Amino acid sequence: MCSFFHRFEKVVDNQLPKRFNCPYSYFPHPLCVKASEQVMRYLQSQTSWHEELKDGKMFGVMLVKNRMGEIGFLAAFSGLLQQQNKLPYFVPPIYDLQNPNDHFKQEERLISDINNEISKLENSAELLELKQLLSDVILETEKAISEKKKQMEFEKSVRDEQRKMLHFSTEDDERLKHESALAKIEFKRLKNIYSQKQLDIQQRIENKLNTIENLKQERKIRSSNLQKFLFENYVVQNAFGERKNVYEIFSSLGKIPPAGTGECAAPKLLHFAYENGFVPLAVAEFWYGNSPKKEVRHHGNFYGACHAKCEPILNFMLQGLDVEENPLEKQYAFSPEIIYEDEWILLVNKPSGMLSAKGKNENVFSVEEWAKQKYADAQIVHRLDMQTSGLLLIAKEQESYKNLQKQFLNRTVHKQYVALLDGVMTQKKGVVKLPLCLDVNDRPRQMVDMKFGKYAETEFELVSCNENISRVVFSPLTGRTHQIRVHAAHPEGLNMPIVGDELYGKKAERLFLHAEKISFSHPKTNERMIFVCPPDF
């Protein structure tokens, strides 16, 4: 009997999902929620893991049916746990890169030896002494040359005085010229001596650095080959029984697999299910522990599979399963409400779920396309997230567009949002300042990054609290992607995600964030215009 299969008691058919859920955007099935609770209880019982799990880790569960028709679940963790990829209770990895006798580990040790050798050479006493010696010789050269120049200038001044004497002869002139020529020859000889000294030391340093550079090139080639070897050994299959390695899957898309590809929970679960004759029914991934410093993850919350590492693999592995349509790519019959219109501008109330601008999926209709159907030269001036509703400004011709863009650039356009936060906020008002940048491995998710993030500032004010929900007004002073959403959800911000924010909180019927107010100067009349559009929540 499979030790990784965890049974449910008394599950009837009408409790089972009709289709496998889309792994990128989903409401977790009740049985997946039940399974995740059981996994969390198991994690709580592993007291020796508590310290590591404080830092947080992504886990996954998959609802499956075994060959005997029994319903249960499989569990997995992303990456390593306790520095291991094989632990009781959790399915094993797709490829065991921890096997000490495998080529991967042997080559990894060799690369580690090269790293140590590089570090040893870079910090060797001999190299440091040579660099210091070169620095000393350069200073010595500068001092000797300077002193020689001063001596030559003095000797020249003496010769110049001699030439002014009444009884200065042709023989005297020849003698002084000879002295001058000798001084120049001596100066040149001195420079050559010191130049050769520097060249000798530089050559010795260069020989050391060439050895280091050759080792770095060897490391680069070995690391690249090892990554390719690794991804060629991550062989996965789909429900049709077709098999491909990760390198093939990404290459067919013109991509290179990012580091860590294949180590996330969802691919591990699907791989084990197919390999062992389980029928996958539903999947869910959840975060356990504290939120990372950069990303926003909350303990016990469910999250969609990442796009950079997992999406290409899962798109292949899910082939042959009856999978729900991705709600983020679903075509809805949306149409924005016109709030104001004149010859130059158009202001609309964008519904939640409608794209502001055309995305990579050509089947999803956007406000931009809707506007261009009405006015060929129309351009949206700013954007709202797909799930954010509210006021969106559109220019109907180029000059108005340029004018409004300049106003946004100069921050003279003022916007106000209203949101429902998941929690009771005690602070009446304040400001959140957290720099933001894109999470390149999980677009469009944003991260807080003190080093590389762009400055982002948001004012907030509490309006009311009702049970465990807080209504808050936000005024972003900068315009970063997902700014309000991250500033609300991040532990160093308000630490309360917006209700329905599946990226940074919990999925709901919609994202409860609405752009309710905007003020700007009319691009033609320069009249200050203010519009308010209250939310429907």
Rounded CA separation 406/456 (Å):
19
Rounded CA separation 221/229 (Å):
12
Q: In 10 A of CB 267, how many CB atoms?
A: 27
Q: Which long-range contacts (CB under 8 A, 24 or more apart) does 139-144 make?
A: 140/194, 141/194, 141/195, 141/197, 141/198, 144/190, 144/194
- Given the residues 113, 342, 385, 422, the one annotated as active site: 385
Rounded CA separation 434/436 (Å):
6
Q: Do 250 and 257 meet the contact criterion of CB atoms below 8 Å apart?
A: yes
Rounded CA separation 279/242 (Å):
16
Q: Which structure tokens are listed for 175?
A: 């003698």
Q: In 10 A of CB 95, how many CB atoms?
A: 22
Q: Could you confirm whether 136 is annotated as catalytic?
A: no
Angle at 62 between CA 57 and CA 68, to 5 degrees: 145
DSSP assignment of 376-393, as one string? TT-EESS---TT-EEEEE
From residue 25, give the alpha-carbon distance in Å to each of 302, 323, 328.
10, 12, 7
Place of tokens 């002084």: 176
Q: Which structure tokens are listed for 32?
A: 């997946």
Going by the DSSP 8-state scheme, the letter that residue 15 receives in this structure is G
Place of tokens 């990226």: 503
Rounded CA separation 39/53 (Å):
13
- From start to end of 107-150, where are the E strands? none
From residue 400, give the alpha-carbon distance in Å to each of 382, 518, 523, 529.
13, 17, 5, 14
Pairing of strands 345-350, 389-395: antiparallel
- From start to end of 434-522, where are the E strands? 436-438, 446-448, 457-466, 469-476, 513-521
Residues with catalytic function = 385
